[in-house]
Amino acid sequence: MDIVNNIAKLQGLLKPHRQEGSIGFVPTMGALHEGHLSLVREAVKNNSVTVVSIYVNPTQFNDKSDLDRYPRDLQRDIKLLKKTGCDVIFSPSDREMYPEPDNRKFDFGALETVMEGKYRPGHFNGVGQIVSKLFDAVIPHKAYFGLKDFQQLAIIKKLVSDLNYPVEIVPCAIVRESDGLAMSSRNELLSPEMRKAAPFVYQTLKDVSGKSKSHPISSIKANVKQAFKNHELLELEYFEIVNDFTLQSIDEMHPKTACTACIAVFAGKIRLIDNFQLNS
């Protein structure tokens, strides 16, 4: 496994695979967990070379304290990746990725005005900046993204279509802990008390799924709000049931329209997001 931190070296390593093979790419911000490793294994299975980037991208953090406390442990990540069959780790510096400030403004339309986009202003612009830079550096045939970041996936598909990147976006299932908590690098920041409370987020989504065919959306939403009001530790930021393609909130379920329940919750200072497909 090669570990490189500059784009020229990375491109040299990938050159033989560009025409003949297939370059699989898994972008990450490190602090890897089983969710990331499942993406890497999928990439390894389906490509002649797999690149994993590890870079905590400052431009996508709207909250400086979130950036400061974001977990980083490159040596541990390297050990984990060695076991997956990953071929190349790309771990650039800020200067490598942003030799100059990136002033580009992306327009993701209505996809970015809701949920994460609404509560984390500028977040998706930062995601657009770094993902486009990483795609320019790696020029992957296939790029793997977890469905846990459901809105990010829609944003990235739009980025790829708007900028005509010749890359196939491969969505991968959410990986959960045995108690249902969606795996996330931020989980390791939870206090033991908050960690114990956190699976309530998934339990809520499962409950919503159970009721979604028989209860109106307005009453489902009211119940979720109340459940978190009654909860001693977790604070609801938003709960929405959205159309999978437009990401706009829906008022009624239609059997033919794919929709997903999306939630963001604060467990103390740690923000957790999760989602559950309702009518797949």
Minimum distance from CB of 3 to ligand PAF (Å)? Answer: 17
Q: Burial-class residue 170 by CB neighbours within 10 Å (0-12, 13-18, 19+).
A: middle
Tokens 């709960």, located at residue: 239
Contacting range for ligand PAF; rule: CB under 6 A; set: 21-29, 81-89, 207-215, 225-233: 21-29
- Do 128 and 103 touch, CB atoms closer than 8 A? no
Give the one residue of 10, 14, 27, 81 binding ligand PAF; rule: CB under 6 A: 27
What are 275's strand-pairing partners? 262
- CA–chain centroid gap for 158, Å, is 15
- Do 243 and 277 touch, CB atoms closer than 8 A? no
What is the contact mask toward ligand PAF in residues 47 to 66, using x (rule: CB under 6 A)?
----------x--x------
Give the one residue of 17, 23, 28, 205 binding ligand PAF; rule: CB under 6 A: 28
Q: How far apart are CA 26 and CA 135, in angstroms?
A: 10
36 catalytic residue (yes or no): yes
Length of the chain, in residues: 280
What is the contact mask toward ligand PAF in residues 119 to 158, using x (rule: CB under 6 A)?
--------x--xx-----------------x--x------
Minimum distance from CB of 145 to ligand PAF (Å)? Answer: 7
- Do 198 and 234 touch, CB atoms closer than 8 A? yes
Beta strands 23-28; 259-267: pairing state: unpaired
Give the one residue of 4, 10, 14, 29 binding ligand PAF; rule: CB under 6 A: 29
Q: Rule CB under 6 A: is residue 81 a binding residue for ligand PAF?
A: no
Site for ligand PAF, rule CB under 6 A = 27-29, 57, 60, 127, 130-131, 149, 152
Q: Which residues are catalytic?
A: 36
